[in-house]
A and B are shown apart, each in its own frame.
Chain A
């Protein structure tokens, strides 16, 4: 149980295009999902917290107009990188708290984005 999936697992796009990444909790409902970013050989940095049915809360320094987050249901959150640039190339990882189990956070396998 407690499986989180991400799609796609990797994507290459041209500079200026937008890319959508999906995060799904497969066997549980998640009232809260989180989006992290990881640069090579570095730690994970929280980008935003996504609550079902409400606007995401972004961390300081993260542009909400560039990284659009939608949490439309209890099992799906999406991150859209708009007008992507090479500096947006990174590993994006989502995680989810099962409903009623806030102390456990399960991570997706990550999405590697490369912007040319």
Chain B
């Protein structure tokens, strides 16, 4: 299977919370990331979490990590139309320092 898996699409209403999930296979990954990509643009680093942490909160963003199940999630509180984008989960291969990405989840926010 893929190294990093994400669901392809999520639709929410403006003001609701969004939860984007990700599962990964590399048990040696030390950092896990969430990036946002708007159409035709590069990637914007939203947040990252060190593998010995369970949770990290940064304003409207909450990252939860279940290392046992190799599951990472990103919760966006009070989702706005400007949050509509593709969200990529990634982990760092500590040997190469390169990132391995999931396929991305397209978040659509309905007004």
A residues in contact (CB < 8 Å) with B: 4, 6, 32, 34, 42-46, 49, 57, 93, 95, 97, 102-110, 112
- A4-B30 Cα distance, complex, nearest whole Å: 24
A43-B104, A44-B88, A46-B98 known; A108+B48 contact, CB < 8 A:
no
* Residue from B30, B40, B99, B103 in contact with A105 in the complex, judged by beta carbons closer than 8 Å: B99
What's the nearest-Cβ distance from chain B to residue A56, in Å? 12
Interface size, B (range): 20 to 34
Q: Which residues of A contact B45 (CB under 8 A)?
A: 104-107
Residue of A nearest to B103 (CB): A43
* Residue from B31, B43, B50 in contact with A107 in the complex, judged by beta carbons closer than 8 Å: B43
Residue of A nearest to B89 (CB): A43
B residues in contact (CB < 8 Å) with A: 30-31, 33, 35, 40-45, 48, 50, 88, 92, 96-104
A104-B45, A108-B42, A110-B42 known; A46+B99 contact, CB < 8 A:
yes
A32-B97, A97-B97 known; A43+B88 contact, CB < 8 A:
yes
Contact A34 B101 (CB under 8 A): no
Contact B35 A49 (CB under 8 A): no
Chain B CB within 10 Å, residue with most, of A105, A110, A112: A105
* Residue from A4, A43, A49, A108 in contact with B97 in the complex, judged by beta carbons closer than 8 Å: A49
What's the nearest-Cβ distance from chain A to residue B106, in Å? 9
Q: Which residues of A contact B101 (CB under 8 A)?
A: 43-45
Q: Which residues of A contact B30 (CB under 8 A)?
A: 103
- A50-B60 Cα distance, complex, nearest whole Å: 35
